[in-house]
Amino acid sequence: MIIQTTPHCSMPEMEQILQEINKLGYKPARVETQYGSYIVCVGTAEFDIRLLGNLSGVRDIHMVRDQSKLVSRQWKVKSSEISLGPDMVISRNDLTLAMGPCSIENEEQVEDMVAFLKSQGVRLMRGGVFKPRSSPYSFRGLGLEGLKMFYNKCNEAGIFVVTEVMQVSQVAEMYDYVDVFQVGTRNAQNFNLLDELGKVDKPVLLKRGMSSTLDELLASAEYIFSNGNEKIILCERGVRTFERAYRNTLDLNAIPYLKEKSHLPVFSDPSHGIGLRAFVETMSLASLMAGADGLIMEIHRQPERAMSDGQQSLNFDEARRCIRKIRETVKFRKELALLEDL
C-alpha cells in the first residue's frame, strides 16, 4: 500500500496517520522525494480503505500488490518523465540516445566524440572514468580528473554526461560533473550505493545485474526511489547464459515486461547485450521494436585501439549509419502505434 500525503501535511496529522497504519498491523516507511511525500506500508491485513482515506493529511491511497511499491505502475498510471534540461526530457514519448566510448581516454578523444555527437544531434554522451575490471592489473579509468575534463568539454557543447559511479564516496565527488549517474551491472545490488543515489537530485541509469531477475532490478530501483530520488531509468544490458558465441544475451523480453510493470523509462544497451560490433546495429533496431525508450551504445573513433570494449564499439561511419536507421525505426514504430488506433 502507498499513501500519498498532502504537501502541507502537519506533524500531528502525520502522527495520526502513522498511528492508524500501525494499528492495522502495517509497517510504514516514510519517503520524501523531489516530487512528493509517500508512506509505503508493508503488511497483509484486510481493512476498509476509508479508515485511512478519510484522515486529514492523506491525499490518496493505492493498494499495490507488487513486491516493489513505488516503482510499480499499480499506483502511477502516467509514465515518469525525467528532465535533464529545458529541451531534453527522457520519457516514453521519444527515444533517448546515449553514445560514447567505453572509457574516457584523453582530451582529444572527447573532443572528437563531442563533435561527432553534435553533428548527429545526439545530446547524451556516455563514457567511463571509473572502470570495474575483473583483473586489478587492467586499465581502471582516468578517475575524477578525467571526469572533470569530460564534463567540461560536454558542457560547453550542450551535451549531457552519463557515467558510472562505483561507490558511495564517489557520489559527492562526482556530483558536479555528472548529469546522469550510471550504476553498472556489478553494482546492481550494491545497496549502500543505491541508498546514496536516492539522496541526490540527479537521474540514475540503473543497469540490470548480470544474473538478476527483473524483480531484483525493480527492488534495486525501489531502494533509490524510497530514499528520495524518483529519477530512475531502468536498463537491460544482457544476462549471463550458457551461450559462448556472444558476451551476454540481450533479454528483450525484459523491455515490454518492465514497461508494463513499472512507470519508469526503460533503456536497452545493445553493445553489452551482444558484445559483437557486427550485430550491434541489428540489436539496437530490435530493441526499439521491443519498445525501448532509449539506447545506450558504445562508439569509438578507432575501436581497434580502444582501451576497453573495442570489440563491441562502432566506429563513426557505422554509428552514423546506425543512427539514421534508429531514427527511421523510431518514426516507423510511431506510425505503427497510430495504426492500432484506426
Does position 252 interact with a copy of itself (CB under 8 A)? The reply is yes
Does position 249 interact with a copy of itself (CB under 8 A)? The reply is yes
Q: By the 8 A CB rule, do 235 and 183 touch?
A: no
Does position 246 interact with a copy of itself (CB under 8 A)? The reply is yes
Q: How far is the CB of 159 from a copy of itself (least distance, A)?
A: 27
Does position 213 interact with a copy of itself (CB under 8 A)? The reply is yes
CA gap 172, 1 in Å, rounded: 33
User: Which of 19, 34, 56, 67 is the binder for a copy of itself (CB under 8 A)?
Assistant: 67
Which residue stretch of 83-91, 97-105, 121-129, 223-231 sits at the interface with a copy of itself (rule: CB under 8 A)? Answer: 223-231
For a copy of itself, give the closer residue by CB, 23 or 334: 334
Chain position carrying cell 541509469: 205
Does position 285 interact with a copy of itself (CB under 8 A)? The reply is yes
HSE toward the beta carbon, residue 46, CA cutoff 13 A: 0
Q: By the 8 A CB rule, do 5 and 28 touch?
A: no
CA gap 90, 263 in Å, rounded: 13
Does position 2 interact with a copy of itself (CB under 8 A)? The reply is no
Identify residue 196 by its one-letter amino acid code.
E
Does position 143 interact with a copy of itself (CB under 8 A)? The reply is no
Which residues in 315-334 contact a copy of itself (CB under 8 A)? 321, 324-325, 328-329, 332
Does position 189 interact with a copy of itself (CB under 8 A)? The reply is yes
Does position 133 interact with a copy of itself (CB under 8 A)? The reply is yes
- DSSP code per residue over 274-314: H--HHHHHHHHHHHHHHT-SEEEEEB-SSGGG-SS-GGG-B
Q: How far is the CB of 112 from a copy of itself (least distance, A)?
A: 25
User: Which of 13, 20, 216, 318 is the binder for a copy of itself (CB under 8 A)?
Assistant: 216
Size of the site for a copy of itself (CB under 8 A): 79
CA gap 255, 184 in Å, rounded: 18
For a copy of itself, give the closer residue by CB, 184 or 203: 184
Positive or negative CA dihedral for 113, 118, 121, 126?
Answer: positive
Residue 177 is given by DSSP the state G
